[in-house]
Amino acid sequence: MLYRRHSGLREGELSRMRANLVRQEALHRIALSLELGDCLQLGEGELKSGGFRRPSILADAVEALFAAVYLDADFDTVCGVIGGQFETLMATVDDPGGLKDPKTALQEWLQGRKRALPRYELVEVRGEAHAQEFEVRCVVERPQISRIGHGSSRRGAEQQAAKACLEELQRR
């Protein structure tokens, strides 16, 4: 779908666009639009902790739904279903330059200046298994910068910390 829509773009740009479309946040939005959380059969613990609203569970459910359509029908059918669900989101990724997540943007900024890649350190994990909060430090060696990020996932915390580091580097 992306290639047909943007056949003139380079592979890296298309890859970033694809990653933006299939990331948890995008799949979560699709699940919400389908009211998929109301259809899930969850265990007692997940029900009590609001699992039917948890982005990771809903994103996984969208992927499972697409797989079920493929297994029950065929490739062309699932392409139509996926295309219909992603059509609105496709419009939001038409600018490939704006799609870099903070970790990628920071890495490219550093590599473009022949500097070492950032290091991510898990500082702390708080909360119950179903509702954890992660604290991650992003460390850039040159110039020496260290920023902390928080999130409901380790990746989310890393993204937040990378964003703070990149913002500081761009201010300097």
pLDDT mean values, one per 10 residues, the chain (172 residues): 87 83 88 91 80 86 96 95 86 58 89 94 90 94 95 92 94 87
Q: What CATH number belongs to 102-171?
A: 3.30.160.20
> Helix, strand or coil for residue 144?
coil
Hey, which CATH number is domain 2-98, 3.40.50.300, 1.10.1270.20, 3.60.9.10, 1.10.1520.10? 1.10.1520.10
Instruction: Tell me where in the chain the CATH 3.30.160.20 domain(s) lie.
Output: 102-171
pLDDT at 66: 96
116 in Cβ contact with 106 (< 8 Å): no
CA dist 128 and 125 (Å) reads: 9
Instruction: Tell me where in the chain the CATH 1.10.1520.10 domain(s) lie.
Output: 2-98
pTM listed for this prediction: 0.59
Q: 11 vs 7, 8, 75, 101, CA distance in Å? A: 10, 9, 24, 17
Spatial CB neighbours of 135, under 8 Å, sequence gap ≥ 6: 122, 123, 124, 125, 126, 148, 149, 150, 157
Cis peptide bond prior to 143, omega within 30° of 0: yes
pLDDT at 92: 67
CA dist 106 and 164 (Å) reads: 10
pLDDT at 94: 59
146 in Cβ contact with 118 (< 8 Å): no
pLDDT at 93: 67
Greatest alpha-carbon pair distance for the chain in Å reads 55
